Structure 1
Amino acid sequence: MGQLSLLGFMCGLLVLGGLALVWRGWHPDPEDPARRPSPLRLWIDRARVSMPEAWARRYWWIAMGGALATVAVWMLTGRPVHGLIAGAVVLGLPWIWHPAATAQHKVESLEGLSEWLQQLVSVHEAGTSLEQAIQASAGRAPQAVRTDVRLLAARLRSGLSPEHAYLAFGDELGDGDSDNVVLLFLNHIRDRGEGLSYALSEMSALISDRARNLRAVDADRAKIRTQTRWVGLISLTLAAFIIFNPYYGKPFWTLAGQGVLLLCAGLFVGAVILLRVIASTPPTPRLLTPRKASA
């Protein structure tokens, strides 16, 4: 019992540490815009974006449910690893139910970017410069890119050089598709040549095709995601039956059994993560070197 108590203490620390990370990720402290986010913050942000928006909005309640499940199962069974796994299942439910991130967010971003470029064409053809067109279009930019476009327009109005403003815009969108747009903007401010409207229209068409192809690929992967979801849920149901059944689960109530159970849970989590990596749409490689965000 002394060894189990020590193991329980360590599991309790893991639970508290996990809740602290969840709280920090969903309630971040104000940061200096010139400071690059930490790798942990980037990992938390990617995990948050990878789940559907409805789950992301309610994840703090899911985290509280995970903590309650950990305590309840721990008290009922008297075994810390049982409680830790129960809490981990509740915390990971969004990723188990959605075993691979969809490309919906990326598709909406590309479609918004394409529509915004068409707006720039309309404003620019009225006789305004690119910078003036961006500022004029900020208020009616598509929802998917509105925040980034408004920030770009604010930077241009504040007197920041267009080159630095465009590079910061590319860093905020953070993929190769947006880098193509930034490169188009940079080439224009360096030569101020004619044909900007045509170039913007062609870029808009290319991005629209990219969004359409990505949506088709994502639809094909929907069947795989459904199959994987049910495999994960059935696996967890069978595991729960074996672990909590007094006859089958008795070996897992010893100290060595708790260690084996923790190892098996880690392998299951690793398999789920690997599956998400394989089934997820990889981001488009960056064409520009990321820079520190400009104020």
Structure 2
Amino acid sequence: MNALVPGLAGGLIAAGLLAIGVGLRPTAEPPRQPPQPRRRLLTLSPRTRVLVLAGLGLGLAGWLLTGWVLALVIAPVAVVGLPVLLSAPPALAQITRLEAMEEWTRSLSGVLTVGVGLEQALVATLRSAPAPISGEVTRLVARLRARWDTETALRAFADELDDSTGDLIAANLILGTRRRGAGLASVLEGLAESVAADVRARRQVEADRAKPRSTARWVTLISASVLVVLALSGTYVEPYRTPIGQVILVVLLTAYVATLIWMRRMANGQPPPRFLGPHPDAAALR
């Protein structure tokens, strides 16, 4: 036992000296990263700023009238967040863009039946391009006039549309540029009919989804109105004035908001994935 203690101590000293030697050994400094520009963490639009100020005013009034300190937080969050959660999802804007693609494809098919080339037909559709995709069509025509390769310009056009239906339209046009056949107009007409059927199906789905969304909107408005009335005049919510009651109120409201977020995510859905990858020439020319 007496010999074990000095041996253990000597081993620890040797290990310590080895660790000191490893630590003092010079190492190459990692390359310094260039200073990153400071990004603004939060950028509020003028409308959001007005809503935040209105919410703070309502929260301050609610705190003075009811004694609920949480009104300073609940009111701004409700004024800013509830319109976003209860508003129409972005699927309606996607349907509008799909409808614009269908209209533009049908117009392009009609121009091609006259007998002009594909590039001339694309330029001719600029004046009648629907508003939701007029910017993309304008840039496509500008690239063609700048002597871009037609396939490269069409791939850049698909990247700007950023939609699987846009990829389908661009892919058919790319095939038309390669083969230069006479059947492109009929192909585009059939594609426009397919997109129109897709638009009708999506509108029907959104009409079905609008019913539970409207129910949730009315339930939320009624619940908020009842809560405000009871907080101002009733004794039913007296337990929520205590610190424990405030905590319980926060938990209940958080669960309600989480339910609204969950419902909105279920209604949004996932867009179909794109299949037309970016063209290296288009990326190099940008």
- Equivalent in the alignment of 1:81: 70
- Equivalent in the alignment of 1:38: none
Residues 140, 153 of structure 2: 8 Å contact kept? yes
TM-score, normalised via structure 1 length:
0.69
Moved more, 146-155 or 156-165: 156-165
| 1:31-85 Cα shifts (integer Å, max 9, x gaps) | xxxxxxxxxxxxxxxxxxxxxxxxxxx6564344334334444555565532211
Residues 71, 83 of structure 1: 8 Å contact kept? yes
SS at match of 2:57: helix
One-letter amino acid of the counterpart of residue 94, structure 1:
P
- How far off is 1:203 after superposition? 0.8
Question: Between Structure 1 and Structure 2, how many residues are aligned?
Answer: 244
Residues 135, 153 of structure 1: 8 Å contact kept? yes
SS at match of 2:249: helix
- Equivalent in the alignment of 1:91: 80
Correspondence for 1:134 among 102, 122, 125: 122
- Equivalent in the alignment of 2:133: 145
- Equivalent in the alignment of 2:154: 166
SS at match of 2:271: coil
* Consecutive unaligned residues in structure 2, runs of 5 or more: 1-40
- Equivalent in the alignment of 1:44: none
Shift in alpha-carbon separation, 1:103–1:78, aligned structure 2, 3 A: same
TM-score, normalised via structure 2 length:
0.71
SS at match of 2:115: coil
Residues 139, 150 of structure 1: 8 Å contact kept? no
Measure the CA separation in 2 of the matches of 1:63 and 1:164.
Answer: 46
Which residues in structure 2 correspond to 1:53-72 (within 5 Å)? 61-72=50-61
Which residues in structure 2 correspond to 1:1-295 (within 5 Å)? 21=42, 23=44, 26=45, 61-74=50-63, 76=65, 79-98=68-87, 101=89, 103-241=91-229, 247-289=235-277, 295=286
Residues 158, 167 of structure 2: 8 Å contact kept? yes
- How far off is 1:97 after superposition? 4.2
Moved more, 169-178 or 233-242: 233-242
SS at match of 2:122: helix
- Equivalent in the alignment of 1:41: none
Residues 164, 275 of structure 2: 8 Å contact kept? yes
SS at match of 2:42: helix
| 1:215-265 Cα shifts (integer Å, max 9, x gaps) | 222222332222222222233334445656674444444555444433333
| 1:106-154 Cα shifts (integer Å, max 9, x gaps) | 3322222111111111222333322222222112112232222122222
Shift in alpha-carbon separation, 1:72–1:194, aligned structure 2, 3 A: same
- Equivalent in the alignment of 1:30: none
One-letter amino acid of the counterpart of residue 178, structure 2:
R
Measure the CA separation in 1 of the matches of 2:148 and 2:241.
Answer: 64
Greater relative contact order structure (CA < 8 Å, 6+ sep): 1
Moved more, 196-205 or 284-293: 284-293
Q: How large is the Cα RMSD of the aligned pairs? A: 3.2
Residues 105, 189 of structure 2: 8 Å contact kept? yes
* Consecutive unaligned residues in structure 1, runs of 5 or more: 1-19, 28-57
Report % sequence identity. 34
- How far off is 1:208 after superposition? 0.8
SS at match of 1:122: helix
Measure the CA separation in 2 of the matches of 1:203 and 1:66.
Answer: 49
